[in-house]
Chain A
Amino acid sequence: MRAVCTVVGKDKPGIIAAVSTALAERSVNILDISQTIMQGFFTMITLVDLGGMSISLETLRQDLDSLGERVEVTITLQHEDVFTAMHRV
């Protein structure tokens, strides 16, 4: 399955490195990545493939939550289908 992984928080060095390392360690493949500053917040959006993931989806969510706490950002993971349903006619 493919998902949109979003990282939002106060901009500081190393956010992209921390998140992409965590994803790589769990065999989550990044298919696309973009980064922008929206309303003063660092926002990183990645499209990821969870097909070859080495852990369960539940564990990935827990890991991303604790990583988010450590780096002081909010990490959200939602299925690609949610965005397709809501934004594509």
Chain B
Amino acid sequence: MLFSPLEIEQTLRMFAEQNLDVRTITLGINLLDCIDSDARKAAGRVYEKITRVAANLVRTRDRIQAELGVPIINKRISVTPVAMLVGASQNGQSRESSSVPLIFAEALDRAARETGVDFLGGFSALVHHGITPAEESTIRALPTVLATTEFVCGSLNVASSRVGINMDAVNMAAAAIRETADRTRDRGGFGCSRLVIFANAPEDNPFMAGAFHGPGNPDTVVHVGVSGPGVVQSAIRRMPDAPLEQLAEEIKKTSFQITRLGQLVLDKASALLGVVPGIVDLSLAPTPAVGDSVARILEEMGLESIGVPGSTAALALLNNAVKKGGLMASSRVGGLSGSFLPVSEDEGMAAAVERGDLTLEKLEAMTAICSVGLDMIALPGDTPVDTLAGIIADEMAIGVMNHKTTAVRVIPVPGKNAGEWVEFGGLLGRAPIMPVHRGSCSAFVRRGGIIPAPVTSFRN
């Protein structure tokens, strides 16, 4: 036999008992060749190109899944940041009331439905340097787009380590989150789950809601994102008394195996779709299912709960070991590639918040190490816009000063207070609403302007 019974048993357990799967195949599509001064013509081309290029995406996912016997959960599309297309069609329309972004959003939503994907990301604007009229129109359209479309996801890059934090963009992002929550109040502010505010956004991220096809990419490209927190947790459970460097070693090996699986799926998807291979994102993406939690990995290491002292150190060990193992498994590691710490999408995170063991402030400290920042966090419905801007600015500062990606995906749940639960359903899960510090940062954030880049960014 080519493989030992132990190897085969280990693999079977990973899939059957430890929730191992490939989280997503994401097809990136450049839409810059669709531009036209007439927005409707351009939107028609957008629909045509996406439905043509992604025609076989779902079928390809099904075929790989059947051939390999490996579950592949999501199939997604990421596109060129829409603000770039809006710019070509704006024709002097007012930036406050332009209909152009909505025309594109409608075409994107229809294309997503036609191709059968789960999400389409890229209703985005890169505004860390400043905001063009087309980008302003796009940001202003976000609440309507997120309230009226089913599949479209949006993101804004408001900060980078090269240029600093654009506080005008941060304030606009906070206002967009607030309005999106109000526009989707019947679903607990659900629309905010499809909007991510970034510092140092990666151009090749396969995970939603922050995926977009950055301008540095080829015309089409396919990316893969893995999962597997349950596998890492099981590996650690087998070593209750081991010193920490041995845990790190075991996590590295496990991450290597998981990422190799992602690389295998990427190679097959690339060949079948006839699209150049992009990256494998080695992030351990959790789900609300029991046994698929990043929080529980840290607790398996010996913390009574995620959020207690030691949590940041444990996360550092995990994140570092996951990267070292994954980097050896694939030459094309990219995207976010770290640990995800979403509250509603991770059963262990939500439980820790409910017990009062995990606060927003401790979570923010932990995001200095994880790869996505404050993710899927439900906040009180009456959280002021300026406080949202302050929360975003803090998270952007962590990313900018540490030369890493950070992001904010928060949901101020209309009509609900701290401690109450909100249900989003499916992979988005459920979460208790976290209390927010009541002190005001209004006078600070309303100054606007740019928080300059760190001295470490001047490397030329």
* Chain A residues at the B interface, C-beta cutoff of 8 Å: 1, 3-4, 6, 8, 32, 34, 36, 38, 43, 45, 47, 57-58, 61, 74, 76-87
Contacts and interface: CB of A to CB of B under 8 A. Distances in A.
B67 A4 contact: no
Contact of A47 (B2, B66, B67): B2
Given A45-B5, A47-B2, A6 B66 contact: no
Contacts of A45: 1, 3, 5, 8
B204 to A, nearest CB: 21
Contact of B261 (A1, A4, A85): A85
Q: Which of A32, A45, A47, A58 has the most CB of B within 10 A?
A: A45
Contacts of B264: 81-82, 85
B25 to A, nearest CB: 16
B290 interface: no
A3 B1 contact: no
Interface in B55-74: 66-70
Interface in B232-282: 257, 260-261, 263-264
Contacts of A86: 11, 257, 260-261
A59 B53 CA distance: 29
Contacts of B186: none
Nearest to A50: B67
A32 B263 CA distance: 27
Given A4-B8, A38-B9, A85-B263, A79 B2 contact: no
Given A85-B260, A85-B264, 20 more contacts: A3-B69, A4-B3, A4-B8, A34-B1, A38-B5, A45-B5, A47-B2, A57-B67, A76-B16, A76-B69, A77-B69, A78-B11, A78-B69, A82-B68, A82-B70, A82-B261, A83-B11, A85-B261, A86-B11, A87-B7
Q: Which of A34, A43, A86 has the most CB of B within 10 A?
A: A86
11 contacts: A6-B8, A34-B5, A38-B5, A57-B66, A57-B67, A76-B16, A77-B69, A78-B15, A78-B68, A82-B68, A82-B70
A51 B67 CA distance: 12
B427 interface: no
Given A86-B257, A86-B260, A87-B11, A78 B70 contact: yes
Nearest 5 A/B pairs, CB to CB: A78-B69, A85-B260, A86-B257, A85-B264, A79-B68
- Report whether over half of chain B's contact residues are helix, strand or loop; otherwise say mixed: helix
B5 A79 contact: no
A81 B3 CA distance: 11
A67 to B, nearest CB: 16
B4 to A, nearest CB: 8
Interface string B1-32: 11101011101100110000000000000000
- Report whether over half of chain A's contact residues are helix, strand or loop; otherwise say mixed: strand
A3 B8 CA distance: 12
B3 to A, nearest CB: 5
A77 B68 CA distance: 8
Contacts of A80: 2
Given A57-B66, A76-B69, A82-B264, A36 B11 contact: no
A4 B261 CA distance: 16
Nearest to A34: B1
A34 B6 CA distance: 12
Contacts of B11: 78, 82-83, 86-87
Interface string B57-96: 0000000001111100000000000000000000000000
Contacts of B9: 38, 43
B69 A58 contact: no
Contacts of A34: 1, 5
B69 A83 contact: no
B66 A61 contact: yes
Nearest to A44: B5
Nearest to B4: A87
A87 to B, nearest CB: 5
Nearest to B62: A58
B74 to A, nearest CB: 19
B69 A32 contact: no
A1 B67 contact: yes
Nearest to A78: B69
B451 to A, nearest CB: 44
